[in-house]
Amino acid sequence: MQSSSHIHWHIRRSLNGVSATDWGAALISKTLSRSAQNAMEAQAVIMSNAMQVGCKMNTFGQSAINADVPVVVPALTTIRVFGYGTQSVVSAARENWSGMFDCAFAVSMDNMDFALCLPPQAHCCARRGDDTHFDSTLHNDLNDALSGEHAGWNTQDLVVQCRISRAGQDSWALGSGL
């Protein structure tokens, strides 16, 4: 039996060349094909994408249009460091419950494989020779700006500091998803 990390590696490799916008369009298209709705009935597309790199401007509009959603349908962006996929669903539900829309699609899309390496002095002081580059995945998205730590470590530090057990975390997660 293959380990989950081995399976995860194969899944990542299979999606390596797929941009976040193509991924988002595929998700919208698949949702449309599984539902009783069609693209012309969409009144809103609510999408989350924590890292909008390598996809050009307006990633959400690109995905919606490439899934044949009419160009006049607004594409709303939700960005939250963790839980952003859930936030797009919550935002779509709120729009629906408020009576603003009858049909809204919620999608979460990311592919960090297109993240850039950032040369910090490229715009003003480029020179010959070796230089430091920052991984934009970490530098702009996953590392906390205040502590410099990977965002997941901040959560772990809070778990230890507040003495929250694994069972307590699981119980809260189960309750929050219902």
Q: What's the CATH number where 19 sits?
A: 3.40.47.10
What is the per-residue pLDDT for 35? 80
Q: Give the mean model confidence (pLDDT) for residues 13-34.
A: 81
Please, what's the b/e burial string for 127-140 (b: 16 or more CB within 10 A of its CB; e: otherwise)? Answer: eeeeeeeeebbebb
pLDDT tens-digit profile of 131-165? 677 777 777 777 777 777 777 676 777 788 889 88
Q: Are residues 17 and 72 in the same domain?
A: yes
How many folded domains does the chain comprise?
A: 2
Q: Are residues 125 and 102 in the same domain?
A: no
Please, what's the b/e burial string for 77-104 (b: 16 or more CB within 10 A of its CB; e: otherwise)? Answer: bbeeeeebbbbbbebbeebbeeeebebb
Q: Are residues 124 and 42 in the same domain?
A: no
Q: Which structural domain, as residue segments, surrounds residue 129?
A: 117-176
What is the per-residue pLDDT for 13? 66
Asked whether residue 82 carries a pLDDT value surpassing 70, the answer given is: no
Q: Are residues 23 and 73 in the same domain?
A: yes
Q: Are residues 49 and 94 in the same domain?
A: yes
Q: Are residues 104 and 129 in the same domain?
A: no
